[in-house]
Chains A and B, each alone.
Chain A
């Protein structure tokens, strides 16, 4: 579509607004992780749960729950100080797919504790899910 400059822009905005790429990434990751016998039925069931969750306001089926966040934090915090450095925190968010490429995080000089990490992960995940 050569003369579709505006249509391309429209399409990109659509992807951003509904966070389609994040949703597809999530679906592909769960699919490859659980490897069900019938991929289509499995995808349909996840999308159904998502749809119901959105309508009723019930908690979303997160990919990483509390224990995963704790173990990830402990993996990064090798010396068991109870805190991780800013660089680790930023890389961790990137690995989880919760950090946009252009986003710049503020380093406020304090080290990141488990609480802060967890609340940030939850906050970002919720922001993504609420766009669906």
Chain B
């Protein structure tokens, strides 16, 4: 079925299901594994893969120059995400592996490991049950481009790569203060990270080769290698500045590894914009509709259109308009569902605003099957709203709209004849804001994945913020 045949009526439940359960990513991961391992019997392999259910475990590589705090960050991340840490030392120190024994001898003689040996050690370790189930963090490996390519050929791909960077002088100085606790192998520092318990203080030892010459030599080698490793991980790399307090570096790293990358899954945006009157919803909706081809659904406008068309529903709505009362929910739902179930809104997606007004309407929207997949709350303080709305004027002769602060009329003559819409009077605006704030907290409770924005800025900044909210996958909540 391609786009050239007659428009297909795909029931909206299907894309909704696909998004909720991330079907696309599931299939993509399975296909990746199939292609990497190419098993002779694909079906048992796929069954095993699905049972493992380890698509989202952490697979992280942390690289950085000596004294940048790699090991500390790696250990903290490990504890926080309860995953396994792999460093050169603990790979060699493993007990039940013949490869590790060979590596130990080698290391004692030459103080370095050949790349093939290291990579085969990694491969062996990653096959173990706990790495498969809970993920892994590689600290300081790969050291060279050769190692990076070898790891890749074996099919081991990290999902996030963090590179710490800091100026060389800072690193050399920092390294002089490095101390190690021989029991826990944790790294402390004389100035930045001094342990509080005195018994740890007493047993700290000075590690060998931290003199300035040594550090400078290691830094040279590091710079030579890192520049060729970076291109191996194009889209998953993030460089974090290590010249800041450890805690800050840790938080940046943690937020990064918990974000998922943009996937190629087909995605029709169904956006809901919530916010008080005057927050710029209609403007943002118009911008979104123009740029992404979404259908702009303004609830109030829909009702007015129905009345103007004099359709059956329009005739029902008309008396409410004439009396100035708000239209009952059931009629609104009928008009809305009629619009949203049309072919173009299902295919292209929609932007809904000025609805729902309260929790009941929101529940009704969900029950009709039109759940939005991105919800935005545009927050604006009361003063800005008053400023934006009460200074609006319209010129009765030309029909041109002005704003006394943002778009003042050019001549005094025009200014003299400007009129204000009675709906924009200050008391009216305040009333509407009250109404909104009453239902706001309930709506926020319902839409747990909503994104709140500061709408008190110029429209294009707000628009960019909304765009990034739509285009990137929804952030996972930190547990």
Q: Which A residues form the contact surface with B (CB < 8 A)? A: 1, 10-11, 14-15, 18, 20, 23-24, 27-28, 31-33, 35, 39-40, 43-44, 47-48, 50-51, 54, 91, 95, 132
Contacts and interface: CB of A to CB of B under 8 A. Distances in A.
Contacts of A11: 35, 38
A39 B23 CA distance: 8
B42 interface: yes
B142 to A, nearest CB: 16
Contacts of A1: 152-153
A47 B38 contact: no
A51 B14 contact: no
A132 B35 contact: no
Nearest to B30: A24
Contacts of A54: 43
B50 A40 contact: yes
B27 A132 contact: no
Contact of A47 (B5, B26, B46, B152): B46
Contacts of B14: 32-33, 35
27 contacts: A1-B153, A14-B34, A14-B35, A15-B35, A18-B42, A20-B34, A23-B42, A24-B27, A24-B30, A24-B31, A28-B23, A31-B17, A32-B18, A35-B14, A39-B23, A39-B26, A40-B50, A40-B51, A43-B50, A47-B50, A50-B43, A51-B43, A54-B43, A91-B5, A95-B1, A132-B42, A132-B43
A132 B31 CA distance: 15
- Give the dominant DSSP class at B's interface: helix
With most chain B CB atoms within 10 A of its CB, the pick from A10, A40, A91 is A40
A24 B26 CA distance: 11
A47 B23 contact: no
B47 A20 contact: no
B27 A51 contact: no
Contacts of B51: 40, 44
Contacts of B53: 40
A45 B152 CA distance: 32
B202 to A, nearest CB: 52
B96 interface: no
A32 B35 contact: no
Interface string B109-125: 00000000000000000
B382 to A, nearest CB: 45
Nearest to B18: A32
Contacts of A47: 43, 46-47, 50
Interface string B37-62: 01000111011001101000000000
Contacts of A50: 43
B460 interface: no
Nearest to B21: A39
Nearest to A4: B153
Across the A-B interface, the 7 shortest Cβ-Cβ residue pairs:
A32-B14, A35-B17, A51-B43, A14-B38, A47-B47, A39-B21, A11-B35
B80 to A, nearest CB: 26
Interface string B1-44: 10001000000011001100101001100110011001000111
A43 B52 CA distance: 13
A56 B38 CA distance: 24
A19 to B, nearest CB: 9
Contacts of B34: 14, 20
B48 to A, nearest CB: 10
A119 to B, nearest CB: 23
A17 B29 CA distance: 20
B47 A32 contact: no
B17 A32 contact: yes
B321 to A, nearest CB: 41
B150 to A, nearest CB: 12
